[in-house]
Amino acid sequence: MALLRYVGGDERTSRPIRGAHSLALCAPPESRIVRVMRIFPTQRVLLVEDVRADERAARRAGRIVAALGCGRPDVISREEATRLWRDRPAKRPHPFHRRTGAFDYSAGWTLILDTYVDDDRPGDGVPRATFRDGGAQMEGRGVCRSALEIHGAIGCYHRCAYCHCDPFFVVACDLESLAERLPAYFARHPAQRLYKFDNLTDTICLEPEWGSSELLVPLFGATEDKYLLLYTKSDNVDHLLPLEHNGHTIVNWSMSTLTQSRMIETGAPDTRERIAAMAKCRDAGYVVRVRISPVVPLERWRAEVVDLVEELFAAAAPDSVTVDVVGWCVPEAFEEIVDVSLLDEAFRSHLRRTAGRPNPEGEKYLFDHELRRTVLSHVVAEVKRRSPGTPVALCNETRRMWGDLGDLLGATPENYVCCCGPDCAPGAGG
């Protein structure tokens, strides 16, 4: 029986792959395995029957199951998978949209190994692609560019308190069907050069067993003008280093202050570990980018932003930076996930004053314009002080905010470089 090298912490063992006979072929050569995917506890591991009909998908599922060491998964129907997905914790009735920190992970995740759903049914599982309508962001108030985004999973190993995920992890195992559709996507969106993968999960946490990087990085590397953007908080980057990216893969980290990373972004590497991973990728020739996002204004946030920017540019020198302030929830939801006594006084007072009141700006903007401007102007000023030539943008902010900070940014809503804009390929000038 084939052996899969398992590396967990400092302990190295070999274990046999168990399960269906086809899984005996699923282990890649040991020279390719530097370390396994991030291991997380599971309360249930389910295999949708469609996966077994695709040999490549079945092998991919087998690699994930073997790495987790969770035994043979239970096989379920497509209908049962859809029912479970629609009834997951985040979809259950509640007075407000709850965030990741409000859910109980003590029993582990429910992992569903699945195939893609049709792109016109994104509510029933993992779509291959979705279209981000920039003009409709925040009912037209937010500045954003429209783009097609590609996907591979929904859910996350990290448990950042402010996120949208719950203890459900649905992974599409038929990644080749995404790769086969890319030429059609490129033809349909000829002006789009950059494709974000993935804002519904952190893809590289599942590598190398899942194999999305091994499949997509060389594919984009063989194109003339298309770029893949890997969107991550992970330090699980060793599998990326030998891949033939040809400068056509951008690795984009979501970065935060050190205290925030350790107190609020549970399960994610801390700031310094992310910066170290970023430096590894830069040294391997990847373009690296950063979102300082979402900024949670804890008591020492100003000083810690200075430290973050200094450490970031000393080690990794990202080619662009995008900034955002925590939001996408009402005050009651935020108070459920974060001890608000840890916040800067002005932000703490604002939450207590606005709880239970309608927010005319919508849930994206948890704090008012003046407080967000305080955060954004400080972060942008620090980046510009440390690296004046690095493009900086605001994520989904209002035109009023762009007007206030335009001189500092050196950019406008019509002419800016952000991390994931469809035309923001390396070297873009806005």
The pair of structure tokens assigned to 213 is 């990087």
pLDDT of residue 118: 79
**pLDDT above 70 for 84:** yes
119: pLDDT confidence band, cut at 50, 70 and 90? low
The pLDDT of residue 429? 57
Residue 140 has pLDDT above 80, yes or no: no
Q: Which pLDDT belongs to residue 230?
A: 98
Per DSSP bridges, beta strands 109-114 and 42-48 are parallel
Instruction: Please report, rounded to a whole number, the percentage of residues in the chain having pLDDT higher than 90.
Output: 81
| DSSP secondary structure letters along 355-417 | TTS--TT-TT--S-HHHHHHHHHHHHHHHHHH-TTS-EEESS-BHHHHHHHHHHHT-BTTB--
Kindly state the average pLDDT of the residues 149-164: 95
So what's the pLDDT on residue 6? Answer: 23
Q: For residue 22, is pLDDT > 90? A: no
Distances (CA, A) of 95 to 12, 41, 90, 340, 406: 47, 29, 12, 20, 38
Which range is least confidently modeled, 21-30, 67-76, 99-108, 330-339?
21-30
- Position with higher pLDDT, 371 vs 124: 371
Q: Mean per-residue pLDDT for 4-9? A: 26
Average pLDDT over residues 119-137: 82
The predicted model gives 403-410 an average pLDDT of 97
Which helix (DSSP H) or strand (DSSP E) does residue 306 occupy? helix 301-315
Predicted confidence at residue 419, as pLDDT, reads 96
342 burial type by CB count under 10 A (0-12 exposed, 13-18 middle, 19+ buried): middle
Closest CA to 376 of 336, 351, 403, 339: 403
pLDDT digits (tens, 9 = 90+) for 327-343: 999 999 999 999 999 99
Q: For residues 278-297, give the mean pLDDT.
A: 98
Domain ranges of the chain: 3-409
In this prediction, residues 43-70 reach a mean pLDDT of 95
Digit-coded pLDDT (tens) for 207-237: 999 999 999 999 999 999 999 999 999 999 9
59 pLDDT band, cuts 50/70/90, is very high
The Cα-based distances of 249 to 98, 133, 149, 290 in angstroms read 33, 23, 15, 14
Task: Indicate if the pLDDT at residue 299 is higher than 50.
Answer: yes
Element (H, E) at 45: strand 42-48
- DSSP annotation of 142 reads B
pLDDT of residue 34: 46
Minimum mean pLDDT among 4-8, 116-120, 154-158, 376-380: which range?
4-8
Compute the average pLDDT of residues 89-96.
Answer: 90
What does the pLDDT average to over 182-199? 96
For residue range 250-287, list pLDDT tens digits in order.
999 999 999 999 999 989 999 999 999 999 999 999 99
Q: What is the layout of strands, in order, in the sheet containing 42-48?
A: 74-76, 42-48, 109-114, 168-172, 153-154
The pLDDT assigned to 363 comes to 73
Report how far residue 410's alpha carbon sits from residue 417's, in angstroms, rounded to the nearest whole number: 10
Burial 138-177 (b: 16+ CB within 10 A, else e): beebbbbbebbbbbbbbbbbbbbbbbbbbbbbbbbbbbee
Q: Report whether pLDDT(30) > 50.
A: no
pLDDT value, residue 7:
26
CB 262 within 8 A of CB 270: yes
CA 236, CA 293: separation in Å to the nearest integer?
20
User: Average per-residue pLDDT in the chain?
Assistant: 89
Identify the bridge partners of residue 153 per DSSP, sorted by sequence position: 171
- Average confidence (pLDDT) over 385-407: 96
CA distances to 97, 127, 275, 325, 391 from 272, rounded to whole Å, are: 31, 33, 5, 20, 22
> Is 32 a residue whose pLDDT tops 50?
no
pLDDT at residue 27 tops 50: no
User: In this structure, are residues 81 and 46 in contact, taking their beta carbons and an 8 Å threshold?
Assistant: yes
SS3 assignment, position 232: strand
Q: For 290, phi and psi rounded to 5 degrees?
A: -140, 135
Query: Whole-angstrom Cα distance, residue 294 to residue 297?
Result: 9
Average pLDDT value for residue range 387-392: 97
What is the Rg, in whole angstroms, of the alpha carbon atoms belonging to the chain? 21
Residue closest to 177 by CA, chosen among 56, 336, 279, 62: 56
- Per-residue tokens: 90: 């985040």
Does 3-409 carry CATH code 3.20.20.150?
no
